[in-house]
Structure 1
Amino acid sequence: MTATDSQPEVQPADVPEQPPALDIPAALPLEPEDPPRVGEFWLRGRLGANAAGYLYAARDETGRDAVVAMMTEGSADDAAARDRFVYAVDDLPADSVLAHNDSDDGDLALWVAIGPIHADDGSSAVSDERLIAERRGEDILSAVLMDRIPQVGRRRGPDFRHYWENRRRPGLFRIWPLPWPNALRPASRWALGWALLTMALIMALAVVLAWYLFRNAAPLEPEPVIPSPSNTVTVTITPTTPPPGSTGTPTKGPSTVPTTGIPTTPGTGSPATPTNPGDKF
């Protein structure tokens, strides 16, 4: 046995495995009350919410991803809360603010798009960018809500609560141009086209059925009496056969009875004399 044969085999050192990329959970679906678009960003889902606002996953027309922080209707109506939102956005790095609306729009909720978030290539860098953008959005909403201000002194009395915390619907927004039909995918366009065609066929079928049902309908009996401009009415009298034992001849043919609006005395045809209402007593 040689010296080389007595040496133990050297095992290769274990190469540490690279940590897998962080698995970012998908955003929650949008609610009917959520805006489909703010500015140039289409909202794709909810990432978080509190009494001050919402965080949305968004993407613009060029495919650029971002996180949009938007105020609720309660916080958007409070001037002090709007100022805190603006101050928090101003504190962010300049390259992280992709877009925002004008703070002078007093009737609209303030929003800001935070990024940049590059295209997802499966690396952890993209996940980190998304997490950083979400954290910055949470910091903005927390600044509005003032829930991270450290306690000064001893805690006494009831907890502080904003008067607008119950108004948690998304704030007012304005979309121009309108999102329809740009927001529709090809499958949605086909579904919308088939729905419109089905509605048109149902309406046409209803019209045809109505025509078949009422084309042979009998006229109204008796026919409506329509006065002429000369204040005369044409009344059609149907000939009748007198009963047995009675005298007289049946009347037939239309007769025109002029009506002048002057009351007549029954049986004589002469104008009636107006009576004084006091004569009845």
Structure 2
Amino acid sequence: MTATESQTEVQPAEPPVDAPASLIPAALPLQPEDPPRVGEFWLRGRLGANAAGYLYTASDERGRNAVVAMMTEGSADDAAARDRFVFAVDALPEDVVLAHNDEDDDDLALWAAFGPIREDDGSSAASDERLLAERRGEDVLSAVLMDRIPQHGRLRGPDFRHYWENRRRPGLFRIWPLPWPTALRPASWAAIWYALATMLLLMALALLLAWFLFKDSPPLDPPPVIPTPSRTVTTTITPTTPPPGTDGPPSTPVTPDPSGSIPLTPGTSGPPSPTDPGDKF
């Protein structure tokens, strides 16, 4: 074997290509207690949580994507925890903090949006921006929880724990204007319009069936008696004796009886019938 045969052929190096995108952790669905919106950012899903707060993936109406860190109700009620949250957010560069609420809102949980994050186009740059924003949110919540402070000396006694760690629900938030229907997607709008059209069609069909069923029904005979608001019924009685001056037999004048009894009409005997309409007046 000659020297030339023992030498290995060296291939020229290929130009570098963009590395595959890092695996972006999928966000969990929002829970009923999660706010649909904080500030100008609509929350899309949960990225993580601890006793200090929650991390959400979010986007605003201008198309900016961000990672939102929001305090829990327990940490938001602690003045020292709120100060640590504000200090950690202020320590970050101004261009990575897209928005945050006012620290003077004592009745609301503090939150901050980190970015910018480009649209996920499959490149490693988009995934790196998302992971970097998520790491910033984790650092802020860890500063509130104080779980990354190095331990000095030997561990003795019980472990340190915040008194509000059990209150892990998302903190109080305020939404105005209301989120509905701005947050609806096109599919949701289509479902609402289909539901309204179906409801109107069913109402029109019910009215048409009622008209076909009752259009040829005969009127009631006698008509129903409708009481007045005073719950009395007015009955019209047609007199059988024509008034004076009209054709017919002459009317017989009735002479009042001094005893106070009711005189009888000629041709009748006994007291008037209880069903006589004249007794009602």
**1:136 Cα deviation from its structure 2 partner:** 0.8
Q: What does 1:63-102 correspond to in 2, within 5 Å?
A: 63-102=63-102
Q: What does 1:3-22 correspond to in 2, within 5 Å?
A: 10=9, 12-13=11-12, 15=14, 19-22=19-22
Aligned to 1:33: 33
Q: What does 1:176-215 correspond to in 2, within 5 Å?
A: 176-201=176-201
Is the counterpart of residue 251 in structure 1 residue 274 in structure 2?
yes
Q: What does 1:266-281 correspond to in 2, within 5 Å?
A: none
Secondary structure of residue in 1 paired with 2:156 = coil
Secondary structure of residue in 1 paired with 2:46 = strand
Higher relative CO (CA 8 A, sep ≥ 6), structure 1 or 2?
2
**1:135-169 Cα shifts (integer Å, max 9, x gaps):** 11001111111111222332222222222222211
Aligned pair count?
A: 242
Q: Quick one: distance in 1 between partners of 2:135 and 2:80? A: 22
Gaps of 5+ in 2: 236-269
Q: Quick one: distance in 1 between partners of 2:9 and 2:141? A: 58
Secondary structure of residue in 2 paired with 1:149 = coil
State whether residues 234 and 257 of structure 1, in contact with CA within 8 Å, keep that contact through their aligned partners in structure 2.
no
**1:253 Cα deviation from its structure 2 partner:** 3.9
Aligned to 2:163: 163
The two structures have a TM-score, normalised by structure 2, of 0.70
Aligned to 2:136: 136
State whether residues 76 and 108 of structure 1, in contact with CA within 8 Å, keep that contact through their aligned partners in structure 2.
yes
Q: Quick one: distance in 1 between partners of 2:156 and 2:226? A: 84
**1:9 Cα deviation from its structure 2 partner:** 7.8
Q: Quick one: distance in 1 between partners of 2:157 and 2:206? A: 69
Q: Quick one: distance in 1 between partners of 2:100 and 2:43? A: 14
State whether residues 234 and 256 of structure 1, in contact with CA within 8 Å, keep that contact through their aligned partners in structure 2.
no
Q: Quick one: distance in 2 between partners of 1:227 and 1:187? A: 53
Q: Quick one: distance in 2 between partners of 1:198 and 1:65? A: 37
State whether residues 227 and 233 of structure 1, in contact with CA within 8 Å, keep that contact through their aligned partners in structure 2.
no
* Compared CA separation, residues 210 and 102, structure 1 to 2 (3 A): farther
Q: What is the identity percentage for the equivalent residue pairs of Structure 1 and Structure 2?
A: 71
Which stretch of structure 1 is more off in the superposition, 98-107 or 198-207? 198-207
Q: Quick one: distance in 2 between partners of 1:166 and 1:198? A: 47
Q: Quick one: distance in 2 between partners of 1:116 and 1:38? A: 17
Secondary structure of residue in 2 paired with 1:182 = coil
**1:59-111 Cα shifts (integer Å, max 9, x gaps):** 11111111100111111111111111111111111111110000111111111
**1:256 Cα deviation from its structure 2 partner:** 6.3
Gaps of 5+ in 1: 236-246, 259-281
* Compared CA separation, residues 251 and 138, structure 1 to 2 (3 A): same
Q: Name the amino acid aligned to 1:55.
A: L
Runs ≥4 in structure 1, deviation > 6 angstroms?
A: 5-9, 204-216, 223-227, 232-235, 255-258
